Amino acid sequence: MEILLAFLVGGLAAVGVYLMLRPHLIQFLIGFLVLGNAANLLIFTAGRLGSQFPPLVQPSGAVLEPYANPLPQALILTAIVIGFALAAFGIVLFYRAQQALGTLNAETILEAPDVSPAPSPVDELPTEGVRR
Amino acid sequence: MSWLLVLPLLVPLTTGILCLVLPGRTAQRVLGLAGALGLLAAGLALLAQVQRQGIQAVQIGNWPAPFGITFVADHLSALMVLISGVVAVAVALFALAENDQAREGLGYYALGHLLLFGVNGAFLTGDLFNLYVWFEVLLLASFVLMILGGSKAQLAGGVKYFAVSLLSSILFLVAVGLLYGATGALNMADLALRVERVHPGLLTALSMLFLVAFGLKAAVFPFFFWLPASYPAPPAMISALFAGLLTKVGVYALIRVFTLIFTHDTGFTHSLILWVAGFTLLLGALMALAQGELRRLLSFQLVSHIGYMLMGLGILTPLALAGSVFYALNHMIVIAALFLLAGLLQRLQGTTVLVRMGGLYGPYPWLAVLFLLPGLSLAGLPPFSGFWAKYTLVAAGLQAGQYGIVAVALLVGLLTLLSMGLVFAEVFWKKAPEGARAAPGGLGGRVLPVGLLAVLTLAIGLWAEPLLSLSQAAARELLEPAGYIQAVLGVSR
Amino acid sequence: MNTLILKTTSRFLFTLLLLLSVFLLLRGHNEPGGGFIGALVAVGAYALFALAHGVSAARKLLPLPPLRLVGWGLLVALLSALPALLLGRPLMTGQWFSLLGVKLGTPILFDIGVYLTVFGALLSAIFGLEEAAHHPSEDA
């Protein structure tokens, strides 16, 4: 089972990285979500599957058998919530960026005229406005 | 006295919440300053407490370590909290004078204090996963601050900043998950005890994940490209806060994990950090020289000088670590002052493009002095705080026989001086170019915070002993984690 | 999307979903549920209503602007953390007491804070997007 999940994590990570490398920012965001799922599954697997490591021991020493380790689940839950908040913010941010900049192509945003590097002092005085 | 430890968290959180709840702008402005002053006071009290009674630890929710979340304050944490309070006060004063009604209406003060909440949480937490959560708190606040007001440049910068932050967050999460899988612990003190049982190769691989994740946040070579692309975008009252605090959280995290947890193979990991430090120093300084816009130039200076902090971590002797800590504290003050000053200059001339600035020495000679104080401190000239920070690092490097990095450090000091001299010549010395704004607006109270920070760097330079001895105490604690572990777990190694 | 069917059903679903969200919030006391998931359901209710009747109609059903709700939620969560501090225990230590046989404590207060915070934050994002989609000129 661990092997299977390891491959799944690897596959998800590959898909996520591929999407994050695409120029379109929505693809980037989807890639982030997929990669986030890969990370969550990874934590889940790293925390040992099944209930062979009982986390709760009663004061008498008796082991509470059918319980799995809750900590990875708590971590994943936190990570999911945070990823959710980041994704929600990202959608709003990209929407606004689309409206203001007219594009969601990462390469075009880099070359947007009014955010490009200002001319160096040795250059000719520019005629166009670069003022922020 | 457990409340003293959580005070640097409660003060900004309460301030931020009240700013959200209270509608009036006046109330928010008063609260913004009061909260920053309160944070400064809390930082002072915490440092005094740590100085008197040693490392402080509190178990949140009364769940004993290593099961619950621990907050720990040693000298390093307390000093970082204190200086973040200083930066907060300066920025709050600047924002009050700036009187940016649109951004204040959008919740500038609330977001600023939530950012401080996240930053101080990251400084104080003793739990690795909790550190991840604090990173996200400060990131979310910084995302909104970055695009607050929604100008085109801000949105373009915000997209880049957001994208890179997402990547580093995931890497951090993966690293924490794998470390948990290998050790079964998340409490940093507990981790320090347990990593001995982990295969050293695996541990080195994990440490590299952390180096990349925190390196992205701290903007070190080769991960610094995003910082100059985004930090110049927001107005000075936001970018100064970012420049002073955010990268330092990454540096703090690096110092913490690479002194407490990953010390099994310093020959590899810390040598690598030294290389990273060297390239960061050199490339940042060279790129800064190539910039024609003041805030981008300062951003590259910011990147470059992160290298100094890593240099001390890479050398890993008591003196070198003390130098790192001292440098981080000094740099927070100096770079915040310079970013605020860039805001002043932009107000005076309507631009921060160097070719179109000039002639300010005549009407504003005192402003030139105000620039030179932090500028020369950044370059590491005596009698400013930057001199002692660099001096300590160079001395430590020579002691440890790391001549290569010392040479780079000295060269970069020279390049920084050159860069600051260039700015001085362009902005103050040369004649105002044709079409430059002739009748500048008034500066008003905006000068006060810059002046305070500038005087502070001079004062630390003239009386370096107290801060230096505190930094040395911090370094001693970092190199002997037994005290830290004892304070958190109640057992010694 | 303002069809008659959606408009009619959204009124019923709105109430039902809000009830479900409160149920989930209280259930989180001892069983799966809690403030976060409850708030998500409540946001779903408001989002559905906004889809059917427009954002301004949905806004009228809110006691406070969404971002103000975030502030109040955080305040409630903060208040739940403080009693322990006043009693000399570490921050956020759960304090419990009984009221008419019902066991109450600071964790439920914290959950309500989470509920309000998540609700306000998400709703402001959704309303912002909806309004921007209908009046793009306002944001440009």
- Reported as a single tens digit per residue, the pLDDT across B222-267 is 899 899 989 998 999 999 999 999 999 999 999 999 999 999 888 8
- What phi-psi label fits residue B439: left (phi over 0), alpha (psi between -120 and 50 degrees) or beta? beta
Instruction: State how many domains chain C has.
Output: 1
Window from B74-78, B183-187, B337-341 with minimum mean pLDDT:
B183-187
Consecutive H or E run containing C96: strand C96-99
What pLDDT is recorded for position A54? Answer: 65
Nearest to C90 among B14, B21, B61 (CB): B61
The answer to whether B3 contacts C91, with C-beta atoms less than 8 Å apart, is yes
What pLDDT is recorded for position A52? Answer: 64
Examine residue A32 and state whether it is found in any structural domain, yes or no.
yes
pLDDT confidence tier of residue A112, bands split at 50, 70 and 90:
low
The answer to whether A99 contacts C139, with C-beta atoms less than 8 Å apart, is yes
Domain limits for position B336 = 2-489
Tens digits of residue pLDDT in A83-104: 988 998 999 899 888 888 888 8
Tokens of B453: 């920070």
User: In Å, how far is A1's CA from the nearest CA of chain C?
Assistant: 26
Residue in this structure with the two tokens 């180096």, named with its chain if needed: B211
Q: Is C138's Cβ below 8 Å from some Cβ in A?
A: no
Nearest to A96 among B155, B160, B293 (CB): B155
What pLDDT is recorded for position C2? Answer: 64
Residues from chain B that touch A71, judged by Cβ atoms under 8 A, are: 180, 186
What pLDDT is recorded for position A97? Answer: 87
- Interface predicted TM-score (ipTM) of this complex, two decimals: 0.86
- Residue-averaged pLDDT of chain C: 84
Nearest to C132 among A81, A89, A95 (CB): A95
The answer to whether A47 contacts B143, with C-beta atoms less than 8 Å apart, is no
Neighbours of chain B (3+ CB pairs under 8 A): A, C
Residues B266 and B270: their CA atoms lie apart, in Å, by 5
Q: Is B225's Cβ below 8 Å from some Cβ in A?
A: no
Residues B218 and B238: their CA atoms lie apart, in Å, by 18
The answer to whether C75 contacts B23, with C-beta atoms less than 8 Å apart, is no
User: In Å, how far is A123's CA from the nearest CA of chain C?
Assistant: 33
Q: What number is the average pLDDT over the span B319-337?
A: 95
The answer to whether A94 contacts B180, with C-beta atoms less than 8 Å apart, is no
First vs last C-alpha separation in chain C: 24
Residues A57 and A66: their CA atoms lie apart, in Å, by 12
Consecutive H or E run containing B58: strand B56-60
Angle in degrees, CA B172, B173, B176, rounded to 5: 85
The answer to whether B166 contacts A86, with C-beta atoms less than 8 Å apart, is yes
The answer on pLDDT for B431 being more than 90 is: no
Looking at the DSSP assignment, which residues form a beta bridge with residue B73? B56
Q: Output Rg (C-alpha) for chain A, integer angstroms.
A: 23
Domain limits for position C130 = 4-139
Residues B358 and B345: their CA atoms lie apart, in Å, by 10
The answer to whether B177 contacts A42, with C-beta atoms less than 8 Å apart, is yes
B235 cis-preceded (ω within 30 degrees of 0): no
Instruction: State how many domains chain A has.
Output: 1
> What DSSP line would sit under B337-393, residue for residue?
HHHHHHHHHHHHHS--BGGG----TTT-HHHHHHHHHHHHHHHT-TTSHHHHHHHHH
Instruction: State how many domains chain B has.
Output: 1
pLDDT confidence tier of residue C87, bands split at 50, 70 and 90:
confident
- A 11-50 residues inside an 8 A Cβ radius of B: 20, 25, 28, 32, 35-36, 39, 42-43, 45-48
Chain A residue whose CA is closest to B353: A118
pLDDT confidence tier of residue A53, bands split at 50, 70 and 90:
low
User: In Å, how far is C80's CA from the nearest CA of chain B?
Assistant: 11
The answer to whether C75 contacts B21, with C-beta atoms less than 8 Å apart, is yes
Residues from chain C that touch A101, judged by Cβ atoms under 8 A, are: none
Asked if C113 and C77 touch (Cβ cutoff 8 Å), the reply is yes
Window from A48-52, B34-38, B418-422, C79-83 with minimum mean pLDDT:
A48-52
Domain limits for position A24 = 2-50+68-108
Asked if B66 and B190 touch (Cβ cutoff 8 Å), the reply is yes
Give the residue with greater pLDDT, B35 vs B358: B35
Examine residue A130 and state whether it is found in any structural domain, yes or no.
no
What pLDDT is recorded for position B360? Answer: 84
The answer to whether A99 contacts C122, with C-beta atoms less than 8 Å apart, is no
The answer to whether A100 contacts C36, with C-beta atoms less than 8 Å apart, is no
Nearest to B62 among C78, C90, C139 (CB): C90
Tens digits of residue pLDDT in B348-384: 888 888 888 888 888 888 889 999 999 999 999 888 9
The answer to whether A89 contacts B143, with C-beta atoms less than 8 Å apart, is yes
> Taking Cα atoms as reference points, which of C23, C14, C20 lies closest to residue C45?
C14
Q: The CATH number of the domain where A33 resides is what?
A: 1.10.287.3510
Q: What number is the average pLDDT over the span B143-160?
A: 87
Q: Is C136's Cβ below 8 Å from some Cβ in A?
A: yes
The answer to whether C71 contacts B110, with C-beta atoms less than 8 Å apart, is yes
Chain A interface disruption, residue of C111, C114, C119, C129, most A CBs within 10 A: C129
Chain B interface disruption, residue of A78, A81, A109, A120, most B CBs within 10 A: A120
Residues A126 and A132: their CA atoms lie apart, in Å, by 14
Asked if B230 and B158 touch (Cβ cutoff 8 Å), the reply is yes
Neighbours of chain C (3+ CB pairs under 8 A): A, B
- Residue-averaged pLDDT of chain B: 91
Tokens of B308: 């100094």
Asked if C41 and C55 touch (Cβ cutoff 8 Å), the reply is no
Give the residue with greater pLDDT, B98 vs B279: B279
Residues from chain C that touch A85, judged by Cβ atoms under 8 A, are: 121
Tens digits of residue pLDDT in C94-106: 777 777 767 778 8
Residues C117 and C72: their CA atoms lie apart, in Å, by 7
> Taking Cα atoms as reference points, which of B215, B242, B222, B42 lies closest to residue B142?
B242
The answer on pLDDT for B335 being more than 90 is: yes
The answer on pLDDT for A47 being more than 90 is: no
- Residue-averaged pLDDT of chain A: 78
What pLDDT is recorded for position B438? Answer: 52
Interface of A with C (CB under 8 A): 81, 85, 88-89, 91-92, 95-96, 99-100
Enumerate residues 6+ apart whose C-beta is below 8 A from B366.
none
What pLDDT is recorded for position B443? Answer: 76
What pLDDT is recorded for position C139? Answer: 40
> Taking Cα atoms as reference points, which of A100, C75, A3 lies closest to residue B153?
A100
The answer to whether A91 contacts C132, with C-beta atoms less than 8 Å apart, is no
- Classify B409 as helix, strand or coil: helix
